[in-house]
Structure 1
Amino acid sequence: MKGSVKLASHQVVDFHGIVISRNDYKERDMLVKILTDKFGIKTFFVRGARKKGFKLASAILPFSHGTYFGNVNDHGLSFINGTRELEQYQQIYSDIELNAYASYILGLVGAAFGNDEPLPGVWFDNIATAINLIDQRFDAAIVANIIEIQLLEQFGVKPFLESCVICGNSSGPFDFSETYGGLLCQQHWYLDLHRLHLDQRTIYYLRLFSVIDLKQLHSIKVKDVTKQHLRHTIDTLYNDQVGVYVKAKKFIDQMGSWDQILKK
């Protein structure tokens, strides 16, 4: 029957999760989307979530995270029974800019991996680390850049950033070629007149971001002009080769425009 919810038959399991979003469902219920460590992105039916005094109200707020337990289906809706060790990313929840970057990262994850599929390797830990860094007020734009660069492989677009794609020269100077899918050393720039013409500082950070372990990131300071070049370069790669749209990205771009106006 249209609008009905099929009850899960699976046994109760526990998992760590980060609440991505929630939407009203019918008069009293909600559908809550959670990034989980074991099952990927799942949508949970939460009965009575819109009632005053609902016991799991804090557990389903966006950017809540902790251990959840419930019935998880392979496909379709799953169900939350309870939580423990629940926390809130307070800075992200209360800061519109941090919220936008965290939402963007989670949106990219959804675009890269889809729903109902476990994230491969250490990707859940990587995303959880990125969100935690943003909540600690690390440079959110740089954290997002790192995730963007490292996610390219999941979209089937892994730029070759180790050395020149033609001769293997690893010392540079380099430029980036979309045609060749990676770096060209100066000796081979003539092969692509439409290469991106990047400065060496931007190249340095693209290479660094492709391999850096976020768990080892203690501090990073990037000049504003380099951040602008990184933003433009990554946008070019995503627009030309990936083609995904994440709603939060539009708001981030608008914030960038506001900053430029205020600096004039």
Structure 2
Amino acid sequence: MLESFEGIVLFMRPHREKDALVKIFTQTHGTKMFFVKGLQALNHPLKQHCIPMSQHEYIGTIHSTGLSFIREAQTLDIHRKIQMDPILQAHAAYLCQLVDASIEDNQPDSILYQFLAKGLQMINRSDEARPFQIAAEVQLLHRFGLAIDWDRCVFCHNHEGPMDFSMQQQGILCERHFNEDPFRLQLRPQAIAVVKLLSKTAFEQIGNIKLSEPTYQDIRRLMHEIYRDMVGIHLKSETYLEEIYKFMRITNDFPFRES
């Protein structure tokens, strides 16, 4: 039975010689895999509606299990700046993969859908996507079962002064309790301050945050440790992002400002 539904394309994967599998986060049915016959043809009528990180209104057949099908579509937002900018595109792809990893297929979740939609909108409007990446990583942790308090020391609940992160304690240490974990991450205080801020800031309220290279690298190390050791995932799109920024550091191809 045909029905209308809104969705965001997470990824497209070639299937056989000319067909494709397209994973779409639908607003009403959760994440679903769609089979699109002949999509790899240059003039396929649905081609522009299956571009990753774009948002559309679809008409098709939704199945509770197995593959679903698209009959026609109308574009809501192609996110053109993301499509044209390889760095923004890499950040948007990582956001899509992270959201996809945080939800089971076929589970409707309008809150998470709006979270992804707003994230893509804000990345598309920005020139600096890293704060949105950090906000997404921190704010999605609860969906992986982690409830980290970024405001207070795990021992004394102090919320002032320099802070660091302890993987052993799975939380924040204030300066008075640094000696409780000799293997604490030894992050710059600015890194913890940025994570604390972005842990409770909506995408549309982030504004024009500028991150220094050292601060961003500390946050990357923190998020990598948490997602690898506490969540248990490492996404390919994160590795690609790391390679992009590594190349840019080597070539000094972009300015960093102190935060």
Q: In the alignment, does 2:91 pair up with 1:80?
A: no
Paired position in structure 2 for 1:41: 31
1:225 corresponds to 2:225: no
TM-score (norm 1): 0.88
Give the structure 1 partner of residue 59 of structure 2: 69
Instruction: Name the count of aligned residue pairs.
Output: 253
Distance (Å, rounded) in 2 between the aligned partners of 1:235 and 1:203 = 14
- Aligned Cα root-mean-square deviation (Å): 2.0
Structure 2 match to 1:8: none
Correspondence for 1:194: 183
- Please tell me whether residue 115 in structure 1 is matched to residue 105 in structure 2: yes
CA deviation after TM superposition for structure 1 residue 107, in Å: 1.0
Deviations 1:136-157 (A, max 9, x none): 1242122111111111111222
Counterpart amino acid of 1:96?
Answer: P
Structure 1: gaps (5+ residues): 1-10
Deviates more, 1:187-196 or 1:206-215: 187-196
Opposite residue 258 of structure 1, the aligned amino acid is F
Q: Deviation at 1:25?
A: 2.6
Aligned partner letter, 2:28: K
Whether contact under 8 Å (1:160, 1:181) holds in the other structure is no
State the shift of 1:63 in Å: 2.6
Deviations 1:214-249 (A, max 9, x none): 122332222222112211221122222122121111
Q: Find the partner of 2:198 among 191, 206, 209.
A: 209
Shift of 1:205: 0.8
**Distance in 1 of aligned mates of 2:33 and 2:88:** 24
Unaligned runs of 5+ in 2: 254-259
For the residues of structure 1 that align with 2:184 and 2:120, how far apart are their CA atoms? 33
2:229 alignment counterpart: 240
**Corresponding position of 2:250:** 261
Instruction: State the SS of the aligned residue for 2:150.
Output: strand
Q: Name which of 12, 35, 51 aligns with 1:22.
A: 12
Which residue, out of 75, 88, 92, partners 1:98? Answer: 88
Name the SS for the 2:34 alignment partner. strand
One-letter amino acid of the structure 1 residue matched with residue 81 of structure 2:
Q
Q: Tell me the distance in 2 between the aligned counterparts of 1:31 and 1:191.
A: 50
Distance 1:257 1:52 in 2: 34
Counterpart mapping for 1:143-222 below 5 A: 143-222=132-211
- Identity between Structure 1 and Structure 2 (%): 31
Task: Determine the C-alpha separation between the residues in 1 that align with 2:113 and 2:250.
Answer: 37
* Alpha-carbon distance in structure 1 between the residues aligned to 2:211 and 2:41: 46
- Superposed CA deviations along residues 49-105 of structure 1, whole A, max 9, x for unmatched, are 244532222111223212112211222111112222433111211222111111111
1:140 aligns with 2:129: yes
Quick check: 2:24–2:33 contact (8 Å CA) kept in 1? yes
Query: Is the Cα–Cα contact under 8 Å of residues 131 and 206 in structure 2 kept in the other structure?
Result: no
Equivalent AA in structure 1 for residue 192 of structure 2? I
Query: Displacement of 1:174 after TM fit?
Result: 1.9
Kindly provide the amino acid, as one letter, of the partner of residue 29 in structure 2: F
**Alpha-carbon distance in structure 2 between the residues aligned to 1:153 and 1:209:** 14
Q: Which runs of 4+ in 1 moved over 6 A?
A: none
Contact 1:138/1:219 (8 A) holds in 2: no
- Confirm or deny: 8 A CA contact 2:49 2:75 kept in the other structure: no
Supply the AA of the counterpart residue of 1:225: P
Q: Which amino acid aligns with 2:112?
A: W
Measured at CA, do residues 192 and 262 of structure 1 come closer, stay the same or move farther in structure 2, by a change above 3 Å?
same
> Normalised by the size of structure 2, how large is the TM-score?
0.89
Is 2:49–2:74's contact at 8 Å kept on the other side of the alignment? no
Q: Work out whether 1:57 is the aligned partner of 2:47.
A: yes
